[in-house]
Every structure is written in C-alpha cells, then in structure tokens.
Amino acid sequence: MPRSVPASLLWLGLLSATSAQEAPFGLAWGPVAEVPRPLKADREANLTALFFPRGWGPAQGPGTAEVILVVCREQGLQQVIWVGLPLSGEALAKARRAIRDEGVRRYGEPEPGPANDSEAWPGGRALLASREAAEGRRQLVMTAFGPGYAACSEAHRAETGHPAGGHVADLIGTGGP
C-alpha cells in the first residue's frame, strides 16, 4: 500500500464528470451499449451490479480497491461506486480531506449524509462515506448518481419493497435505506 496517494489520482475518475450526461471514468449516464467484462454481476429486480476489482476495467488507480457499476433496467447506468484501499490514521484523514475538497470544488458544500461518517452533496449528486476494514482500518466509499437514479430507485422499491439506496447502506454498514 502506498504511503501517500495523490488526491488528484484517487478521485480523478470518480469526480471527473463535467456534464449531466457524463458519468465517472469516462462512462455516460443512461443506456449501456458496452462495458468491460466484470469479475461478477449480481441482479435484483431492476438492478444489475457489475463488480470490478482493483486493476479490472474502471477500477484503476493507486487508491482503488473496487468499482461497482449499477445499471437500471429502464434508465441504464445510474450509479458508480468507488471503494478505496484500506487506510488508517493520517493516511485515511488525508485521503478523505482530498476527496472532500475536490467534491466541494465541483459540487459545493456537502451536508451530513444518511450514516455516521458520511456526507452527501446537494441534489443527490454524490455521497462520501467510509466502512470498516480489517485490522482497524477503514475504506472510503464514494458513490455518484445519474439523473435517472430517483426513478430507478422508485422502480426498485416497487419491485422489492426497499429503495436502491439500501444496497449502498449495506455496503457502508448502516443497514438502512
């Protein structure tokens, strides 16, 4: 694990979207014509999650452990989740500050998120949180949402009884929506 990961490299892919239709990692929100082959795919109702471990497809970069693309049946790609490598102490604090600062630069000041240790950007554009990892370390988790995410989540709730956001809550360990 590198001692110091430049902030610009950690979030270059996830926060690089510059328009409403541009998703992180050079992808586009909406219909998906082609994605790299994932390690695994998991489907529930109208959602398909594509999992890319470090070094696969969009999961490149020195601070990346995993990237998950969430594709909705009707709306296409509507969520990109980045999971960082396990960190602790000053390395964790420095990485979080860098990610937060870049989010503030692009999206404005975040508000407290739905879980402890989480922040959400205005308009439901992104969420930054952390989750427990081995040996007392934590993994930063950043998720970006597409413009059709709310409709996708409502369709998911209609089919399953829970919103799509419940899966991110499970990922970061809150167990709630």
CA count, 13 A, side-chain hemisphere, 153 = 17
Where in the chain are the domains? 49-172
Q: Residue 29 and residue 34: Cα distance in Å, rounded?
A: 12
Per-residue confidence (pLDDT) for residue 166, from 0 to 100: 87
Kindly report, residue by residue over 22-67, the tens digit of the pLDDT. Answer: 888 889 999 988 888 999 999 999 999 999 999 999 999 889 999 9
d(CA 151, CA 157): 10
Percentage, residues of the chain above pLDDT 70 = 86
In this predicted structure, the answer to whether residue 107 has a pLDDT above a threshold of 90 is no
pTM (2 decimals)? 0.86
